[in-house]
Amino acid sequence: MEACPFCRRVREALTELDLSAELYLCPKGSRVHRAFVKASGGKEQFPFLLDPNTGVSMYESSPLVTGWVPTIIRAGRGMSLWNGALPDPPQNLLELYSYENNQFARLVREALCELELPYILWNTGKGSLNCSKLKQISGSTQVPYLVDPNTGIQMAESLDIIRYLFANYNSN
């Protein structure tokens, strides 16, 4: 269901893992798919996963997100200090233009956390005045966008930013 936060969590995990899925929507009052879920799993509870490739069927977003795919590459990222993080922070704070629900910005924030790099967060949600500021400095409102006053680097694209951070703020 679109309005269900638990279903959303599963959709976000599918996005992070770049997986495609067939979704059978079950709004309240559903005449078709709720009956299928009840027949397949025994109760009307959502989200419900039925994987015909593995025979797995399960409810609840936590097991779906953390247990169904045992190789979730990013599980736990952004929680622990990277063993190669520099012992001292950079002289000047880095700046990150992003907004909370952007999955690409999240990857950059995880890297910043793992490297223990303090930064100024410029939130750029729709209608934010910071969007105008971002457009002035970059020519676009694309996020994430990193400004590093320590090196003069300004860049977009999450993968490029992460590579840059680990190349420049890593003792290994």
Model confidence over 126-169: pLDDT tens digits? 888 899 999 999 999 999 999 999 999 999 999 999 999 999 99
Look at residue 103 and tell me whether its pLDDT is greater than 80: yes
- Quote the distance between the C-alpha of residue 150 and its chain's center: 27
Domains, the chain, with CATH or none: 5-68 (3.40.30.10), 94-168 (3.40.30.10)
Classify 161 as helix, strand or coil.
Answer: helix
- Residue 145 is predicted with a pLDDT of 98
Kindly report whether the global pTM for this prediction surpasses the value 0.85.
no
Dist. CA 47–CA 41, nearest whole Å:
11
Query: Sheet of 145-148: strands edge to edge?
Result: 119-123, 94-98, 145-148, 153-156
- Residue 153 is predicted with a pLDDT of 97
Look at residue 68 and tell me whether its pLDDT is greater than 60: no
- Residue 24 is predicted with a pLDDT of 72
Dist. CA 156–CA 141, nearest whole Å:
10
8-39 pLDDT per residue, tens: 777 777 766 656 666 776 777 777 778 888 88
- Residue 35 is predicted with a pLDDT of 85
Burial readout 147-163 (b: 16 or more C-beta within 10 A, e: otherwise) = bbeeeeeeebebeebbe
Dist. CA 41–CA 159, nearest whole Å:
39
Percentage, residues of the chain above pLDDT 90: 36
Dist. CA 96–CA 165, nearest whole Å:
12
